[in-house]
């Protein structure tokens, strides 16, 4: 089964890291991605550009509304994701708990909705 692990963190926390702390965090993250890839858990993982580069799109009454930035005011922002394979939610949570950024932020684990076969 596939699970999406959404990585949330206060972006400003990343700005406060020293160059060596930042390099260590990147190294830990890349290393964990490599471990997940070798264990066949990892499908894809990507960091996202800062929220200031985001644009939110809504359609209301047929009109497209665009807003700069994330869709909601929150303390933590979505900064990346991992799409993984896991046998069940418990295994997916165990994988997410080892994501290095979980030490500074949070990881939301959600099962991927599998379309029902309409035939």
CATH at 46: 3.30.70.1060
In the chain, the number of structural domains is: 1
Question: Could you tell me the residue range of the domain that residue 76 belongs to?
Answer: 2-111
Residue 5 near residue 107, CB atoms below 8 Å = yes
The reply to whether 118 falls in a domain is no
pLDDT interval class at 33 (50, 70, 90)? very high
pLDDT interval class at 73 (50, 70, 90)? low
The structure's pTM equals: 0.84
The reply to whether 103 falls in a domain is yes
Region 79-97: what's the mean pLDDT?
A: 95
The reply to whether 21 falls in a domain is yes
Give strand ranges (E) for the chain.
2-9, 42-47, 55-60, 63-68, 77-85, 106-111
Position 71 pLDDT exceeds 70: no
Strand partners, 71: none
* Region label for 61, one of left (φ > 0), alpha (ψ between -120 and 50) or beta (otherwise): left
Position 118 pLDDT exceeds 60: no
């Amino acid at each position: 089964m596939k699970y999406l692990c959404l990585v949330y963190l206060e972006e400003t926390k990343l700005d406060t890291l020293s160059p060596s702390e930042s390099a260590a965090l990147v190294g830990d993250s890349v290393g964990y991605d490599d471990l997940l890839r070798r264990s066949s858990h990892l499908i894809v993982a990507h960091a996202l550009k800062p929220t200031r580069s985001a644009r939110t799109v809504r359609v209301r009454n047929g009109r497209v509304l665009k807003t700069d930035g994330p869709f909601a005011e929150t303390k933590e922002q979505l900064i990346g994701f991992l799409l993984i394979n896991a046998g069940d939610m418990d295994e997916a949570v165990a994988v997410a708990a080892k994501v290095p950024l979980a030490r500074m932020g949070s990881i939301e684990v959600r099962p991927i909705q599998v379309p029902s076969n309409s035939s």
